Structure 1
């Protein structure tokens, strides 16, 4: 008997596949906080991958029968750049092996561009994203209330961040109070168990809402609320501290805002050293070290890096890789494309909504992570390239 799945179901399966494929590593991060690496963790891991495989098989024939030319060009260029750097600098090969960058870049990273170029129904994808977000934020809330996150705070923070931003978007721009409630809960959970980079992303989103929503009463209300926050900062911080203590949560962010020990908000966690070394490397070779070639240089220059050295700033990373001239051109081009997108941005279109969410998420690339392996970074450019093709 032949099983027939109509196109609408295939589109639904593909939307769920896109969301779960992006979330798969973060799902394992959340589970490892609760279950460690034991049998339960392994069972959930294989269940996740099996579900993703089934969704992929359902939607494969419909979505991947044609690969867009720009996707092939992107993969080819990145592949050739990687190969060229490995030929010129053999130490890059060891970095790629040590960090598993073939998987990190070509599967986890660039797949964002591939998958979002294949999306046709952004309304459906948006709704699937929103519903999965309810589950993710609920799960994350349980983790914060029942488990000490410890050293996993960074993975936890970024695991739930994109869903928090989407729920806030749906709540503020689309006036969905249910989504707004989840967005607010997610924001509190992220503050309790997150990083300074994630708070920066959320603040950027709120700024975009103030600039583009045209809901002037809310803008005025938020402005007054923000002003009140700064006036009552100490009291609000004390309230959050008391809340965390009552819940038994050890919050790195609250410690940072309180200025406790090495968790002070001004503590750069080694980023000053990384920036200084990056600038010295640029001075030593203004022509650049090639795609991924800067990692071996940073590993040699910073003693506490092993094979995981990257600039922790997307602009420095691009200039280190492509040199001062070409790197600056790439940066200017990116800024131009983002400004152009914001000029024509329409919050009612779901593809633009997702692009805004991913753009805000990528603000953390100025202080953390690498653009080369960030799914959301490439997804943003996939959506923008799709918009250009439609035009």
Structure 2
């Protein structure tokens, strides 16, 4: 009996170590963002040093915990890196115009993205990961609040908006929403409102899409349980939604004026008040890459090729995949991602399904309007967790049949 308990404790400890490793990058990045802006060294030599130190700390943690991961999934580790190296070599040979871009991607892809994928797949108990996510969310939330206070009191300045800050705040607000929709606690609701204010005042629009997706998909995926809390709170929330829908323009205008009085010119609110859809120049990026896809339908323009033609990533995962791998292989990958998301929603365990909805909201939805699948570690965490969830779900169904 003691051996069984000891074995379980060791397994839980390994899951906790792997979970901390997976969630550590966002913790470091948010703190790094605070340091860079507080000391006003973003873009300077000192800023580059801070960024290199941050990357080194994350890489060191992955390296220290590597033996734990290898004991569980050394075959996956070997297969993943051999495949990735082969893919990059193929692109070096056949798309040599992308050589410089590929070299720039190597560190982020091989030492951040791929470890996030393998380490997240190696986690057996997602409840332990969720517990770590809750703690990390509190840290990132506090960092976000501190940054906001410093901005509001003119201690630090940022550009007209900060995409980085808003996406850092996406983790805590999704975690808080997941908790609130289950337990309906006032403290959690307050944390959600504060996070939302930070995103609206200082951030970009992208996270709002992710938040909306999570709320709608969660409510659809879960039947409302009637208890004293839901009977009291849901009608209030429904009334608020109706009021917001009817008075949306007035609420936006009032909120925008309120931020102006605080010295904050919210770019997000400005764009929401504009009539029609404003893509912030993305339509030009999309048009350029679509032309390249049409000209190179079979093999595309290679990994990172979009950077060569538009100066950065294309801000849409579908166009990025089609341009990198061509229409045939790109479409296969896109269909697989749709299938993976669908299966995550249909998992046998409702808790697992809700958990994966969080990661769809953080790992897939943001890539529809921003970021690049190559360097966004939330995307690779989602992939690892999703493939592991498929395996777990299949085992549950086999047990039910037996």
Q: Which band: TM-score by shorter chain?
A: 0.7 to 0.9
Q: Does 1:280 align with 2:291?
A: yes
Aligned partners of 1:333, 1:380: CA distance in 2, in Å? 13
Q: Does 1:319 align with 2:322?
A: yes
Aligned partners of 2:70, 2:250: CA distance in 1, in Å? 55
Instruction: Show structure 2 runs of 5+ residues with no match.
Output: 1-8, 152-156, 396-402
CA contact 1:109–1:374 (8 Å) conserved in 2: yes
CA contact 1:205–1:357 (8 Å) conserved in 2: yes
Aligned partners of 1:134, 1:156: CA distance in 2, in Å? 15
Displacement after TM superposition at 1:101 (Å): 0.4
Instruction: Report the counterpart of residue 135 of structure 1 in structure 2.
Output: 139
SS at match of 2:351: coil
Instruction: Report the counterpart of residue 337 of structure 2 in structure 1.
Output: 334
Displacement after TM superposition at 1:355 (Å): 2.4
Task: Specify which of 69, 82, 92 is matched with residue 86 of structure 1.
Answer: 92
Cα deviation digits, residues 111-161 of structure 1 (max 9, x gap): 221110121332222112112211211221221232133156111111221
The residue correspondences of 1:106-255 to structure 2 (distance < 5 A) are 106-147=110-151, 148-150=157-159, 153-215=162-224, 222-255=237-270
Displacement after TM superposition at 1:205 (Å): 0.8
Aligned partners of 1:96, 1:152: CA distance in 2, in Å? 29
With structure 2 as the length reference, what TM-score do the two structures score? Answer: 0.81
Task: Specify which of 363, 368, 384 is matched with residue 382 of structure 1.
Answer: 384
Q: How many residue pairs get matched?
A: 370
Which sits farther off after the overlay, 100-109 or 170-179? 170-179
Query: What is the aligned-residue RMSD (CA, Å)?
Result: 3.0
Aligned partners of 2:215, 2:342: CA distance in 1, in Å? 17
Instruction: Report the counterpart of residue 257 of structure 1 in structure 2.
Output: 272
Instruction: Report the counterpart of residue 3 of structure 1 in structure 2.
Output: none
CA contact 2:113–2:380 (8 Å) conserved in 1: yes
Aligned partners of 1:10, 1:49: CA distance in 2, in Å? 23
Instruction: Show structure 1 runs of 5+ residues with no match.
Output: 1-5, 300-304
With structure 1 as the length reference, what TM-score do the two structures score? Answer: 0.83
Which sits farther off after the overlay, 198-207 or 327-336? 327-336
Instruction: Report the counterpart of residue 96 of structure 1 in structure 2.
Output: 102
Aligned partners of 1:385, 1:275: CA distance in 2, in Å? 30
CA contact 1:321–1:327 (8 Å) conserved in 2: yes
Does the C-alpha gap of structure 1 residues 16 and 280 become closer, same or farther in structure 2, counting only changes over 3 Å? same
CA contact 2:292–2:301 (8 Å) conserved in 1: no
Displacement after TM superposition at 1:363 (Å): 0.9
Instruction: Report the counterpart of residue 302 of structure 1 in structure 2.
Output: none
Report which structure shows greater RCO (CA 8 Å, sep ≥6): 1
Aligned partners of 2:290, 2:55: CA distance in 1, in Å? 41
Does the C-alpha gap of structure 1 residues 268 and 50 become closer, same or farther in structure 2, counting only changes over 3 Å? closer
Displacement after TM superposition at 1:55 (Å): 5.5
Instruction: Report the counterpart of residue 15 of structure 1 in structure 2.
Output: 19
Q: Does 1:270 align with 2:278?
A: no
Cα deviation digits, residues 179-218 of structure 1 (max 9, x gap): 3332232122111111111111111111112212212656
Task: Specify which of 27, 30, 40 is matched with residue 31 of structure 2.
Answer: 27
Instruction: Report the counterpart of residue 355 of structure 1 in structure 2.
Output: 356
